[in-house]
Amino acid sequence: MPENVSELIEELVLANRILSNEGVLDGFGHVSVRHPTDPGRYLLSRARSPLVVEPADILEYNLDSEPVKRSSVRPYSERVIHGCIYQVRSDVMAVCHNHAPALMPFCVAGKPIVPISHVGATMGEQAPFWDQHDEFGDTNLLVVKPEEGQSLARALGKHSVVLMRRHGATVVGGSLKELVARSIFLCENARYQMQAYLLGAPTPLRPGEIKPAGDGNVSAGVLARNWEYWTRRLELSGSWPLPANAAPVAIAEKEKRRR
C-alpha cells in the first residue's frame, strides 16, 4: 500500500470507482483506508456517490470518526462503521460498506453466504450476520451512532465479512487492493451460490481448501493482475483516468476557497 498520502488518495479514488463499476457499490456505500503513517486516522470521501469521487473529496478522520480538519462539506452519516472497526482491528487497513445486489437476497432472507468458488475463498470460512434490531430496536437501519458501529465491529470479530440483515455488508482487508478484490469476489461467489441453488444444494469448499485458496487470491501477483484488469474495465467505461484538474493537489486549493 502506498506510504505517500497523495498516492494513497488516488488509489482510494480508483477503488471507489472500480467497486462502483464492478457492481459492488451503488449510489450509496463507501470505502475507506487507514492513514499510511498515522494508524489513528483514516481516509474517506465526503458524502458522494462512489463512481464520481475525486481526490478533492477525500477527508481525514480520527478513529472517533470526527474530521481532523474543519470542513463545510457533508460527511457520510455511516462513517462510524469505519472508525469503530479500525479501533478494534489493528490488522485492518481498508473497509467497504455496500449494498451489492448480489448480496442483498442473502441479507434479506438471513441465509448464509458460504465459499463455494476458488475466488470465493477470500471471504473466509463464514460471514456472520448482524441484526441491528436485536440490540437497538426499530431504527432507520443506518449505522450512525458509535454504539451501533461498535456493535457491528463486535459481530465482525476476526472475520473478513459481516452481513447486515436487510441492509447490506461490510468487508475488510489488509490493504486497499485486498479489500477491493475480496469485495468483488464475495459478490461473484454469492451469484454463483444463488445460481447453483437452481441445480441443487451448493457444495461449499472444504475447510482445508479455504485458507490456501483465499491466501492465494489476495497474494501480491494476483492482486496486481486483477487490479490491472479492473482498472482497464473502468477506463473502457469512460470513468478513468480523471481529468487533470482532479489531481490530489487540488485538495488544499479547494479547502482555501472554502474558508
What order of strands is seen across the sheet that includes strand 168-173?
58-62, 41-45, 30-34, 94-98, 168-173, 161-164, 129-130
Question: Which residues participate in catalysis according to the annotation?
Answer: 78
Measured in degrees and rounded to the nearest 5, phi and psi for residue 110 equal 70, 25
Q: How far apart are CA 244 and CA 211, in angstroms?
A: 42
Q: How far apart are CA 142 and CA 116, in angstroms?
A: 30
For residues 89 and 82, the answer to whether their CB atoms sit within 8 Å is no
Return the closest-CA partner of residue 42 out of 19, 63, 16, 23.
63
For residues 92 and 34, the answer to whether their CB atoms sit within 8 Å is yes
DSSP per residue, 93-119: -EEEEE--TTTHHHHHHTPPP---STG
